[in-house]
Amino acid sequence: MRCPFCGVIDSKVVDSRAADEGNSIRRRRECSVCVRRFTTYEVVEEIPLMVIKKDGRRERFDRGKLLNGLLRACEKRPVPIDTIERAVSKVEKDIYNHSEREVSTRQIGESVMQHLKDLDQVAYVRFASVYRQFADINNFVQELELLMKTQHKE
């Protein structure tokens, strides 16, 4: 780290501690030449996650949109808000654990559906109807039959 006083690159760390609620590290350094001390902060540089929309457009991942989608699916259902928040966090973790910096809406939707299936089956079908753009009642029936088959296997 370059000394801000004399410009020498050689310095040593005297003290390190967590800062900003653990989101950064504060380091006290001492220049090996002028012996003056200075403070640096180290933070993780996050590359934004981009979502590839169905029409090919790209936009930044927005946790709020994900939360709103789950809230709409779980509306008037006996699902506590903290459970919905945990599901959003799990989906978000799935997305960020994906090795790419771009993720398709299809991948996000499938992850949401997987978590909703375990959370509330009515919310799952509601979300599926919008996500898969059911055209008629036959699509609903097919999804319900598939849901019932997987439920009987467990």
145 and 71 share a domain?
A: yes
- Residue 4 in any domain: the answer is no
pLDDT of residue 153: 62
The parent domain of residue 34 ranges over 11-43
At residue 140 the predicted structure's pLDDT band, cuts being 50, 70 and 90, is: low
124 and 94 share a domain?
A: yes
Looking at this protein, which amino acid is placed at residue 28?
A: R
80 and 33 share a domain?
A: no
**pTM, two decimal places:** 0.63
Which strands, in side-by-side order, build the sheet including 11-19? 11-19, 24-31, 37-43
- Residues near 18 by Cβ (< 8 Å), separated by ≥ 6? 24, 25, 26
22 and 90 share a domain?
A: no
Q: Which residues of 70-107 are buried (b: 16+ CB within 10 A; e: fewer)?
A: beebbeeeebeeeebeebbebbbebbeeeeeeebeeeb
36 and 68 share a domain?
A: no
- Residue 2 in any domain: the answer is no
* pLDDT tens string 16-54: 999 877 878 999 999 999 999 999 999 887 778 899 998
Q: Over 90: is that where the pLDDT of 133 sits?
A: no
71 and 137 share a domain?
A: yes
- Residue 1 in any domain: the answer is no
CA neighbours closer than 13 Å in the CB half-sphere of residue 22: 0
* pLDDT tens string 111-132: 998 899 889 888 988 888 777 7
- Residue 102 in any domain: the answer is yes
Q: Over 90: is that where the pLDDT of 5 sits?
A: yes
- Residue 94 in any domain: the answer is yes
At residue 55 the predicted structure's pLDDT band, cuts being 50, 70 and 90, is: very high
19 and 86 share a domain?
A: no
For residue 72, give the H/E element and its range. Answer: helix 63-73
Phi/psi at 24 (5° precision): -150, 170
* pLDDT tens string 64-83: 999 999 999 999 999 999 99
Q: Which tops the pLDDT comparison, 146 or 66? A: 66
At residue 152 the predicted structure's pLDDT band, cuts being 50, 70 and 90, is: low
